[in-house]
Structure 1
Amino acid sequence: MAQTPQQRKANEKYAKSEAAKRGKGNTTTKQKQNLKSPVSTGWVFVLAFAVCGGLAFEAVRIVPEFWAAAVTMFNRIFA
């Protein structure tokens, strides 16, 4: 059975009073760390272009060759 907000509040109050009896300090919650990438966004684009840009230029170079070969085969079959 889930706790109601009223029960949760009462449990927190009781836990604080018990911790004070034992001499423990306040409990602290861990703050969420904001992780920053070691590589900036600009460098990610530069690296992506270096890796994928070569593939794009090669495709631009090869596609006309394949198109010419396909047209030649088409002409041989239907000529």
Structure 2
Amino acid sequence: MAQTPQQRKANEKYARSEAAKRGKGKTVTNQKQISKSPVSVGWVVLLAFVVCGGLAFEFLRIMPEIWTATVAMFNRMLA
């Protein structure tokens, strides 16, 4: 059943009065949530030191052998 103009006017008046009763709603703002890593920064630094530090120390250990092999190769090429 369709609304009559009188019913439509009454419904609009009722809707305005109900909206006025509710007042202006609070606006919802999306706040960016800061996600925390499950691993602390200290542990990441320690892990990086263990991995990269171990590689650096290993490279320093084998560097004299690499240098000796390189010099021997150049001596053979020049001689």
Fold conserved between structures, TM > 0.5: yes
- TM-score, scaled relative to structure 2: 0.57
Matched letter for residue 41 of structure 2: T
- TM-score, scaled relative to structure 1: 0.57
Runs of at least 5 residues in structure 2 that lack an aligned partner in the other structure: 1-15
Deviation by residue 1:9-42 (Cα, 9 ceiling, x = unmatched): xxxxxxxx8xx37x69444222221222222222
> Is 1:64 equivalent to 2:57 in the alignment?
no
2:46 and 2:26 mapped to 1: Cα distance? 49
What is the RMSD of the two structures over their aligned residues, measured on CA atoms? 2.4
How far the C-alpha of 1:47 sits from its partner, in A, is: 0.6
Match of 2:55? 55
Q: Identity across aligned pairs (percent)? A: 65
Structure 1 ranges of 4+ moved more than 6 A: none
**Corresponding residue pairs, total:** 60
